[in-house]
Each structure stands twice: as structure tokens, then as C-alpha cells.
Amino acid sequence: MRTETPVAVKLADYSPYPFEIEQVDLAFDLDPDATKVSATLKISRKPGGGTAALVLDGEALDLKSIHLDGRLLGPEDYALTEKALTLPDVPDAFELKTIVEISPAKNTALSGLYISGGRFCTQCESVGFRRITFYPDRPDVMSRFFVTLTADKAACPIMLSNGTPGDVQDAGNGRHTITWDDPHKKPSYLFALCAGDYDVYRDTFTTMSGREIALAVHVDKGDAPRAAWAMDSLKRSMKWDEDTYGREYDLGVFNIVAVRDFNFGAMENKGLNVFNSAYVLADEDSATDADFEAIESIVGHEYFHNWTGNRITCRDWFQLCLKEGLTVFRDQNFSADMRSRPVQRIKDVIRLRGRQFAEDAGPLAHPVRPDTYGSIDNLYTATVYEKGAEVIGMLRRIIGPEAYRKGMDLYFERHDGQAVTIEDFYACFADVTGRDFTQFRRWYSQAGTPQVTVAESWNADAGELTIQLSQSTPPTPGQKDKLPVPIPLELALLDGTGGTDAWTVVLDQPEMTLTRKATGARPLLSVNRDFSAPIRVERDLTRDQRIALVVAETDPFNQWDGVQTLVTEEILKLSEGSQAQPDDQLVDAVASAVRKAAGDPAFAALLTRLPEVGELFLERSPAEPVALHSARKRLQAALSRALSDTITTTLAAPSPTPYEPSAEQAGIRALRAAFITLLGASGAPDAGDTLLALYNAAPNMTERLAAMRALTALGTCQARDTALADFEQRWKHNAIVMDKWFAVQAGQGTAATVAELAAHPDFDLKNPNRVRSVAGVFASANLAAFHAPDGSGYKAVEDIILKADAANPALAARLLTAFEQWRRLEPKARAAAEATLKRLQNAKLSENSADIVSRALG
Ligand code: PHE
Ligand code: ZN
């Protein structure tokens, strides 16, 4: 049996909802097996709304009754399908009351109302609210929500929803009731409720106008101390949004709830942010610096949505980047302000290139604002988020920080309380700058990563450098021909002694020629400094020229990127022969860059990083992941040997104490962890013993995990087994830490490792974090094994996906995106991947998964 791929929704088909929902009263009688939901909607026809029927979305709801203005309706008064409830004939203003029954315990899709860790929680974005009650479940219908929750006192001492709580009342039969009133109009996707028994970590924040906000982070019993960092991050986020954007929090309470089973990172429900518990809980023993950093950034992200997403929301889901790209841009700047700006920029670019560039180069490529989609869950992509953020960054670069802030102020003022579009957003910037953003908006409608080619020639007599720039964007599915986009390029002439003549041009034509005067000898040209645009830069330079450029470079991003380019070229060359050895001069250049950066250990750590196979992949067609992986290992070994003295001295010094999650300390640990990784790659016969000693002595999770990962990379050996067994013994009661244990093995092993991990008693198909730590990590971070020419990697992942899909389509569909690069592969893996996708196409898959499979094959 074959599942039909979903019917495409088109941006061009948008039409406003013909009714206004003035108020919603929701009453929940919470019970894991049968929760009763009564919804009373105050509805009026919009002026000029004609005679349209009232259509409400609703899925998997057991309808008990409908009353219209108090009159019980019969089946002859409405039409009910699997997806909607239609009332053909309604007055201009009326009250509609529906009662439905739903089963949270049976909800494994984690969309709508479900149970996680024995507690009730909801996830409504994008279309989960329709699994709770009948409603126009679209973001442009904004309403006042009034919520009543009734539940068992013992099971649910705490009952939360959006807005402001009322008093708790006894409801008889061991039950109690609370009301929540949200004064801000909101779309249904921002509704949330959570109920259960939690430990609560509390604090307060005083806003810029002097209002005191009650803050609370709700976690599993016993976990409260591990919520301190999330709380600290929340308070810093609130302050940052006041300082940076002039935005104040707008309710008296702000709640965070940590949930074990969650499809994404977190969710910005009004006044009640729900988090994947992996992004709330952290302490010195159990969390790495990367975990602390991720928590800070996600807490910030969800909090910043209060203004960019909640107060002003999206007219329709095509505009998703309006809230996501902008909010990612905001959280990236928050992190940069909390830590090191250049280091943050490098990390953001690593993420963009690793995920978004790959997406843009394959069959799933789509514009930042697509004009059609099959399944809305599949629109939460790196392109919408990461490229969406880059576009905001380019806007800010082009108009400057002051105009950017003015435009944002106008946006908040003009559109507060509305559901708007990208056009509305840019109209604000057009109004404050007098500029026309028509061409700029091509960044939203054109998919694919633009490539900029740079050529230069030096006129010694005139002391002038001529720079020729040209741009082109490769074809992507459904978009063969591309138009030029405005590309802000930060350029500089470097004199080699630190002298920097920097300026910005906007390359908005297919080609452009610039000349720039220089005093003295021929300068070196630095291009796309700070990664000023999300493009690929093509330059015809020799290795010596590239090394000279790295040495002369004054922009930290480009210094790092110059090294990345050098090592990328070297790995690609090495991958052509299985025995080829790295070039000494290149290895020495990288090693000396690392040593020179010792004063900024976080930066030095990034310099030791070699591009992942997933990035190298994009440089080759056909790509041979196994050869790329082996070449990468050879270069890593050579780098390890070249740095061996530095590594030994660095690791002989003690790790900073007492432990703090600060950027300074994290930087020191990042370099120590990078050196532990390199040490493992050295090929030295005693590497296993050295790493096991480092594992045992590690005073924090960052270094302990680095040692365990390096040991795992050695392959089967006693030292590895000892470390893995010890780690499991120590952490078997902490699911978040155990995810790392699963991920480290999936990230290094073979298909057999995946099968073994999937058979482990603690592997849980219903827990997305656990499934991702095995199948997701294997398919996205262990490409040599995933793309094994015999197809074994695909089979291992296919088995998990098929089982996961039956329970949780959003999770399975996300795992399937790992197949997106299949057409680029060498012939054997390519044939195996195609056969797998065809098998999947004929399996009975969910709509979400069928959408990915059909586009991947497309
Ligand atoms: N809106 C969430 C965020 O980016 C992501 C999300 C989407 C979470 C859909 C759950 C479901 O912050
Ligand atoms: Zn978001």
C-alpha cells in the first residue's frame, strides 16, 4: 500500500478567515485516558464576510455535543469529516460550544495534548490545537483565551496555562480547578497547558519599568538544582531584550516547563514556554559547556519570541521565517554579547554550512519563504531558521545598526497584536530608510546558495587593485533560472603588517568591477569578512597565496575560514589516494596558527577543527564518504603529531577550578577537549591508555566526554570498553546524559553498532531525544558508515524510521532528511540509497514522511 503525498498548500491561495473569534473559553477536565474539552467561542462574521460557512479544523476528536446560542445541534446541522467541522448556515454573531473527548495517553505523535513522564503537556505549533478542540487553527485568527483546568489534586498539584492565574478551587472527588486568563490576543498555536507534579525553581525579574515578574522553571522531581542555569539565562535574556531592542515583558508571570518527550528544542507558548528537558537541565557534573551554551541560546530564543512571534505573529505558515529567522538572529546576537562575538559567528557559520548549505544543494532545497509546501511540520528547516537569520543579518549590515533599530521599533509599533507578512516587515524598513527592498526580498523567494567568484589584478604603476566580482545561484527544484541578489560583501586590503583598509560593497549585479588604491606593495584581498553574506566564495589562489592570506588576515572569522579552506583542499586531495600523506608545510601552517592563538583558547580550539564529511561532501560529485573520512583521519593524525608538544603541556596543566560555566573557562576547556580529540587521532600505540587516564581524571563532563569520544574513535579496544561501561554505570539513571553515551557510539560505529544500540533496554522509540541520539546522529554525523556502499547503514536507519513513523511522524520525517544527498554519492551507495528510498515510498508512511521521500526522489 502506498501513502499519497500530501496535497500542496500554496501561498497564492491565501484568503482571510471570514469570522472573528472574539473570545475563547476552554475548560479541560484532565484525565490521561479521556480528557473532556469544552470550548465556547464567541464568533462574529467579519464585515463583508458574505455568507461563508463556518469551518473549524479538528482531528482525532471524539465529538460529544455542539450548542449554538444554547441550542443543541443535530447531525443535520453540520458536516463532520476527519479534518473539519462545517456549519453551513450560521448567524452573523453567535456563541458556539463544543464538547469533545481526547486521549492524551494514546497521543504518541507529541502534537496536541499528551503525557510525558506522567504529566500533561501540549504542543500546538503548527497544527496541534486542532487535536485538542474544533477551532480555526491558523495563525491569523487571534483571540482572547480564558482557560479552566480541572485535575486530580494528587497527580496534578500544579496546573499551568498562558497568562495570569486565578485562585485554585476545590472541585470535589479529590480534584481541583484553576483558571488562567491571557490578556493578549493570540493564535491557537501559542496555547499551552501543563499539569502534574513538578519541582519548581523560582526567581523574580524586575523590568525596566519597575514591574516584578514571578519566574519559575518546572522540572522533574529532584531536578530543581539543575534548573539554575536556565533561570540565569532567562533573566539575562529579559535584560538583553530591554537593552538591545527596548522590549519589556508583558505579563506578571513567566513559566518554563521541562518535558522529556519533545519533538523539537522548545516552544514559545505565551507566558508558558515548554522545553525539551535537554535544554533546561544542566550542572557541573552532567553537562558539557556546549550544553550550557545551548541552554542559554534556546532560553533566549524562546523568550525573544514573546515580541517576535507572539505579540506580532505570522499571517500564515509561509511566513514562518518572519518569526524564526528574526528570532534566531536575535538569539545569535544575545549569545555573541554574552560570550565572544567572533567565536559565536564561527559557530553559527559552521551550523549554517553543515546543515543549510547541504539542504540548499539537494532535492529538499526551498526558499526561505517557500510559496508551496506539502507538510507543514517539514517546514521547520535550517533554511527557514538559519538562512532566515542570515538574511536579517544582511539587512542590518546594509542599512546599518541605527536604521535597523528604527525599523524594528516601527515594526513593533505598527504591527503589535497583528499577524503579518514579510512584506509588512520590509515596509517598515523601507519607511525608515527610504530604500526599496524589492530586490533584497529575492533572498526570500530564491533557493540555493549564491556563489561569488572573485578575481583580482594589480596595477603596480597606479598602485591600484582591480577586483572583479560575479555572482550566480545554482538551479534548485522548481527554480531553474536565478536572478542576482544583493550581496553585502565586507572587503579589506591587508598590508601584511596589520594594516587594514576595510569597506563594504553590495554586489547586486551579475558582475561588478571595483578598483581600490593601495599605498606600498601589492596588498592581499580579504573577502566576505565576518561572513557578511551566506554565500560560497570562489577564488583561484595557490596554496602559498592562501597561507599568506591567513597570516596577514586581521578578521578573526576569515582567519579561521582561511584555515578551513586550506584543510578542506588538503583533505579533498588526500581522498584521491588511500595512502597519500598530508603536506608538511600545510600541517605546519595550521599548527602554528593554533599555537599563535593560544591566548584565545576558544578560537584556537576552532582552528584545530577539520570540516566534517558532510561539508566535504558538497565539494565533490560523486562523493565518496569513506574516502573522505579516511583522508580526514590522516590529516588529523598529522596535525596531532605536529602539535604533540603543545598538546602534552596543555593537558598537563590542571583544568580551571572551581568550575564555572563562563565563556572564559569554557574556552579553556574547549581547547583541552580539542587536544584530547587530537591526541586520540595521533595513531600512537599508547593512545588508548593515555585517553583512559584522561577519562578517569576528567574533572568535568566536557573533558570526560571528549575522552570517551576519542576512545570510541579508536575502535574496539579494552580502554574504550572500560570507559563506556564506566560511563553507563555512572549515568544510567540520567536520560539526558545517557543520550550522550548512545550518541558517541552511533557517531563512530557501524550499522551493527546502531542495531546493537537500538536493542539496548534503554533505547526507547517513543522518546525523540533517544531516537535522535542513535539514528539521527548516525545518519548525520557518521557519514562514512551511514553511506556504506553495501547499504548496511541505510538498512539500520530504515528499520528505526519505519517503527518511529507509526508513532511519531514528525520525528521520522526529520530522520529521513538524512537521505537528501543521495544523488551526489558514488555509484554503489547511490544505488543502495535509491533502493531504500523506493522501498520507503512503497511502505505505508505518514504524510510527513511521504513528503520527504517523494521530494528526495523527485
Ligand atoms: N517554534 C519553536 C521554536 O523555534 C519550534 C517548534 C516548532 C517547536 C514546532 C515545536 C513544534 O522556538
Ligand atoms: Zn523559534
Whether 422 and 335 share a structural domain: yes
The catalytic site residues sit at: 302
User: Which secondary structure element, helix H or strand E, spans residue 742, and what is its range?
Assistant: helix 735-746
Residue 426: its pLDDT value, please?
99
Q: Of 197, 225, 243, which marks where a domain is finished?
A: 197
Alpha-helical (H) ranges within 504-555 are 543-552
For 557-584, the pLDDT digits (tens) are 999 999 999 999 999 999 999 899 999 9
Q: How far is the CA of 393 from the centre of ligand 1 (A)?
A: 21
Query: Which amino acid is residue 231, in one-letter code?
Result: M
In short, whether 811's Cβ falls inside 6 Å of ligand 1 is: no
The answer to whether 189 and 139 are in contact (CB under 8 A) is: yes
Q: How far is the CA of 787 from the centre of ligand 2 (A)?
A: 31
Residue of the CA atom closest to atom 2 of ligand 1: 267
Whether 141 and 51 share a structural domain: yes
Which residues place a Cβ less than 5 A from the ion ligand 2?
324, 327
Determine, yes or no, domain membership for 699: no
Residue of the CA atom closest to atom 3 of ligand 1: 267
Residue 496 to residue 552: CA distance in whole angstroms: 4
Ligand 1 pocket: which of 121, 126, 380, 385 to mutate (most atoms <8 Å of CB)?
380
Ligand 1 pocket: which of 264, 272, 279, 329 to mutate (most atoms <8 Å of CB)?
264
The answer to whether 763 and 757 are in contact (CB under 8 A) is: yes
Residues of the chain with pLDDT under 70: 1-6
In short, whether 324's Cβ falls inside 6 Å of ligand 1 is: yes
Residue of the CA atom closest to atom 7 of ligand 1: 125
Q: In this structure, how many other beta carbons lie within 10 angstroms of the beta carbon of residue 733?
A: 7
Tell me the CATH number at 106.
Answer: 2.60.40.1730
Within 13 Å of residue 480, how many CA atoms lie on the same side as its CB? 0
Three-state secondary structure call for residue 855: helix
Residue 1: its pLDDT value, please?
42
Of the listed ligands, the closest to the CA of 330 is 2
Residue 732, phi then psi, degrees to nearest 5? -60, -20
For 578-615, the pLDDT digits (tens) are 899 999 999 999 999 999 999 999 999 999 999 999 99
Q: How far is the CA of 378 from the centre of ligand 2 (A)?
A: 14
What does DSSP assign to residue 226?
A: G
Among candidate residues 125, 270, 116, 264, the one with its CA nearest the CA of residue 195: 116
Residue 3 to residue 199: CA distance in whole angstroms: 44
Query: Which amino acid is residue 472, in one-letter code?
Result: S
Residue 190 to residue 186: CA distance in whole angstroms: 7
Side by side, which strands form the sheet with 464-472?
Answer: 511-517, 464-472, 451-459, 536-539
Determine, yes or no, domain membership for 560: no
Three-state secondary structure call for residue 538: strand
In short, whether 330's Cβ falls inside 6 Å of ligand 1 is: no
Q: Of 512, 533, 554, which marks where a domain is finished?
A: 533
Determine, yes or no, domain membership for 651: no
The answer to whether 432 and 406 are in contact (CB under 8 A) is: yes
Ligand 1 atom with the shortest distance to the CA of 301? 12
Residue 234 to residue 681: CA distance in whole angstroms: 39
Whether 470 and 440 share a structural domain: no
Q: At CA 622, angle to CA 621 and CA 627, rounded to 5?
A: 110
Whether 470 and 424 share a structural domain: no
Residue 724 to residue 271: CA distance in whole angstroms: 41
Determine, yes or no, domain membership for 350: yes
Query: Which amino acid is residue 188, in one-letter code?
Result: S
Whether 427 and 470 share a structural domain: no
Residue 472 to residue 454: CA distance in whole angstroms: 12
Tell me the CATH number at 489.
Answer: 2.60.40.1840
Residue with cell 594594516: 499
Residue 4: its pLDDT value, please?
54
Determine, yes or no, domain membership for 282: no
Determine, yes or no, domain membership for 712: no
Measuring CA to CA, how many Å separate 67 from each of 39, 40, 82, 150? 10, 9, 20, 22
Whether 372 and 480 share a structural domain: no
Residue 156 neighbours by CB under 8 Å, 6+ apart: 30, 119, 120, 195, 196, 197
Whether 481 and 420 share a structural domain: no
Determine, yes or no, domain membership for 90: yes
Whether 121 and 173 share a structural domain: yes
Per the structure, the count of domains in the chain is: 3
Whether 404 and 516 share a structural domain: no
Whether 340 and 423 share a structural domain: yes
Q: How far is the CA of 404 from the centre of ligand 2 (A)?
A: 21
Query: Which amino acid is residue 836, in one-letter code?
Result: T
Determine, yes or no, domain membership for 459: no
Domain encompassing residue 99: 1-197
Residue 424 grid coordinates = 509588512
**Burial grade of 576 (CB within 10 A; 0-12, 13-18, 19 or more):** exposed
Pairing of strands 175-186, 253-259: unpaired
Q: In this structure, how many other beta carbons lie within 10 angstroms of the beta carbon of residue 542?
A: 8
Whether 473 and 427 share a structural domain: no
The answer to whether 671 and 602 are in contact (CB under 8 A) is: yes
In short, whether 323's Cβ falls inside 6 Å of ligand 1 is: no
Ligand 1 atom with the shortest distance to the CA of 126? 9
Residue 5: its pLDDT value, please?
60
Residue 2: its pLDDT value, please?
45
Q: Of 197, 232, 262, which marks where a domain is finished?
A: 197
Residue 256 to residue 261: CA distance in whole angstroms: 15
Helices 556-574 & 625-642 angle (0-180, nearest 10)? 120
Whether 56 and 111 share a structural domain: yes
Residue 471 to residue 510: CA distance in whole angstroms: 5
Residue 24, phi then psi, degrees to nearest 5? -125, 125
Tell me the CATH number at 371.
Answer: 1.10.390.10
Of the listed ligands, the closest to the CA of 308 is 2
Among candidate residues 513, 494, 496, 497, the one with its CA nearest the CA of residue 505: 513
Length in residues, the chain = 858
Q: In this structure, how many other beta carbons lie within 10 angstroms of the beta carbon of residue 232?
A: 16
Residue of the CA atom closest to atom 12 of ligand 1: 267
Ligand 1 atom with the shortest distance to the CA of 298? 12
Ligand 1 atom with the shortest distance to the CA of 380? 7
